[in-house]
Structure 1
Amino acid sequence: METTTSADGTTLAFDRLGAGPPVVLLPGATCTRGVTAPLAAALAEHLTVLNLDRRGRGQSDDMGDPPPYDPRREVEDVAALVRAAGGSAAVYGHSSGAGVALRAAAADVGVTRLVLHDAPYSSPGGEQRARDWDAELHALLLAQRDGDAVAAFLRMVGTPAELVDGMRGSPHWPALEAVAPSLAYDSAAMGDHDGGLVPEELLPAVTVPTLVLVGGADHGFMVDVARQLADGLPDARLEQLVGAGHDAGPDVVVPALLPFLLG
């Protein structure tokens, strides 16, 4: 493990693996770098991989401002990782990590290539649910009801209520509660306060080559979102991992990533 410091003093923990052109990995909501470790190991056979614990998770802390959470803090985190990589790097974002990656590329912090994998923006018609989720999340976190915040997130993404109830009694639940405050950064990165729609205003600023990856086997709306992203970005191509779910493993993802990341 290595650490670096973001602009606001937050210590960021990451693993550096492999050799070759650098790529920063940004996992999705509730996920530490342990979740992206198998992907990092597979990519490290060809690339230098910096696998990050996003702020407020794992071994990274959070010295940022109190709520409402500002997505610019995570853009600064990406900038810190890019500096640690030598000043420029590709960035891969999965799920809400894709929202962070998109913002970082638009902010011109040294991103050379961008991968947006299963970016969970709202599709047209889903705006109100996203806005309601953001308000509910912040109310629960303000009341220090971290377990309820995680449960609300799981229900929002489609987990059946009875399964959520079962998870709350599992030995893995305390680890989910520990990262509950970081859900506010996921919500901020995805623009949930304003409906969570694709941020059309950011797309023209992303001038680097971009690969939009999408599965869609378990969240069909993401295919429409991926098409919207690919159509709106100046230099993007869309690749659908047909039959893949949101948790597609390295055996599915790496063959699509490597040709793009190696240029």
Structure 2
Amino acid sequence: MTDLRTTTSRDGTRLAYDVHGSGPALVYVTGATCFRRFWPIVQDSKAFAKAFTVYTYDRRGRGDSDDGLPWSVEREVDDIEAVIDAAGGTASVYGHSSGAVLALEASLRLPHKIAKTVLYDAAYVHDAAEKADYERLAQQVRELLAGGDDTAALKTFLRGIGMPGAFTALLPLVPGWRTMKALAPTIAYDLALTRDLPPLAKAQSVTVPTQVIVGQKSPPGLHVVARQLAGAIPHAELVELAGQGHLVSARRLLPVLCES
């Protein structure tokens, strides 16, 4: 593992990042409850590093990065820009889940710095009923966070988005649990990112080459979102990745990322 590297976002927030591999630059934007040295992210990065120079970073408030407040989508896009600049000024951007929401926002604002955008299981709500359910979940999580019960907030969020209860019960035994628990307050950021329907009108303005990918076994709502985004983004490629769910195999995803 490389020594700690940092870059600074537009508002002065210090961001920690790691670099793996060689080849074209790829910035990896992670989803909720992830940080750059969480074991699954490290394994993904090593797989992607067979074809890319992979830049994984701790989103603000996570891991070794600062939590510059107030939070906003715009500031998270500034963070992506800072990592792209650290990578030399241009890069492809791969976003997973809520990270895909940020990747799409970055492609709208930073088209001159992004060579290609890859959106995997972009985690917008897909209809009004899901939006209402999601808002109830968000309210529960916000109340738990406000009360200082980060463990309950984290477990409630993960169960609410479909993680089996047995798995969430075992989370305290997982390596990296202490760091994962410490970033519980950032769940509020991801809830804000994914609470709305996909911004199809804005997506029509994307000029960056885009792949919209959804796992064959991912929830039906994510398939709806993927089709909507691919239909709105000019010339986007829609890919259903056979045999994969929301927790995608980086080895299976890599050949798709390598497509021009």
In structure 1, the partner of 2:17 is 14
* Residues 239-248 or 31-40, more deviating: 31-40
* Whole-angstrom distance in 2 between the partners of 1:212 and 1:61: 30
Q: 1:52 aligns with which of 37, 49, 57?
A: 57
Distance across 2 between alignment mates of 1:93 and 1:217: 18
In 1, distance between residues paired with 2:207 and 2:238? 16
Give the alignment's TM-score, normalised by structure 1.
0.88
Alignment of 1:28-177 (within 5 A): 28-34=31-37, 35-65=40-70, 69-108=71-110, 110-124=113-127, 125-161=129-165, 163-164=167-168, 166-167=169-170, 170=173, 173-177=177-181
1:34-77, Cα deviation, whole Å (9 max, x unpaired)? 33222222222322211111111121121221xxx421121110
**Could you tell which deviates more after superposition, 152-161 or 223-232?**
152-161
1:133: Cα distance to partner? 2.4
Against the structure 1 CA distance between its residues 171 and 207, is the aligned structure 2 distance closer, same or farther, given a 3 Å change threshold? Answer: closer
User: May I ask how many residue pairs the two structures share in their alignment?
Assistant: 252
User: 1:138 is aligned with what amino acid?
Assistant: R
Evaluate the alpha carbon distance shift between residue 224 and residue 80 of structure 1 in structure 2; reply closer, same or farther with a 3 A threshold: same
Identity of aligned residues (%): 40
1:183 is matched with which residue: 187, 198, 201?
187
In structure 2, the residue corresponding to 1:136 is in which secondary structure? helix
Q: Is the 8 A contact 2:213 2:226 kept in 1?
A: yes
Contact 1:25/1:36 (CA < 8 Å) preserved in 2? no
Aligned partners of 2:166 and 2:22: how far apart in 1?
45
TM-superposed deviation, 1:19:
2.5
> How far does residue 171 in structure 1 lie from its aligned partner after superposition?
5.5
RMSD: 1.9
Runs of 5+ in structure 1 lacking a partner?
none
Partner in structure 2 of residue 228 of structure 1: 228
Structure 2 residue runs without a partner (length 5+):
none
For 2:51 and 2:165, the matched residues in 1 are separated by: 42
Q: Is the 8 A contact 2:119 2:211 kept in 1?
A: yes
Q: Distance in 1 between matches of 2:125 and 2:216?
A: 14
Q: 1:99–1:189: 8 Å Cα contact kept in structure 2?
A: yes
Go from structure 1 to structure 2 and tell me whether the alpha carbon gap of 1:159 and 1:40 turns closer, same or farther (over 3 Å shift): closer
Q: TM-score, normalised by structure 2?
A: 0.89
The question of whether the paired residues in 2 share the 8 Å contact of 1:117 and 1:214 is answered with yes
Q: In 2 relative to 1, CA 48–205 (structure 1 residues): closer, same or farther, beyond 3 Å?
A: same
Please identify, of 29-38 and 78-87, the stretch whose mean Cα deviation from structure 2 is larger: 29-38
For the 8 Å contact 2:63–2:179, the answer to whether it is kept is: no
Q: SS in structure 2 opposite 1:126?
A: helix
Q: Is the 8 A contact 2:201 2:232 kept in 1?
A: no
Q: Quote the Cα distance in structure 1 between the aligned partners of 2:201 and 2:146.
A: 30
User: Contact 2:121–2:226 (CA<8 Å) still a contact in 1?
Assistant: yes
SS of 2:192's partner is: helix
User: Could you say what secondary structure the match of 2:62 adopts?
Assistant: coil
Aligned residue identity for 2:98 = S
Shift in Å, 1:162: 5.2
Q: CA deviation at 1:184?
A: 1.5
Alignment of 1:232-243 (within 5 A): 232-243=232-243
What's the secondary structure of 1:230's corresponding residue? helix
SS in 1 for 2:23: coil
2:200 and 2:228 in contact (8 A); partners too = no
Aligned-residue offset at 1:83? 1.0
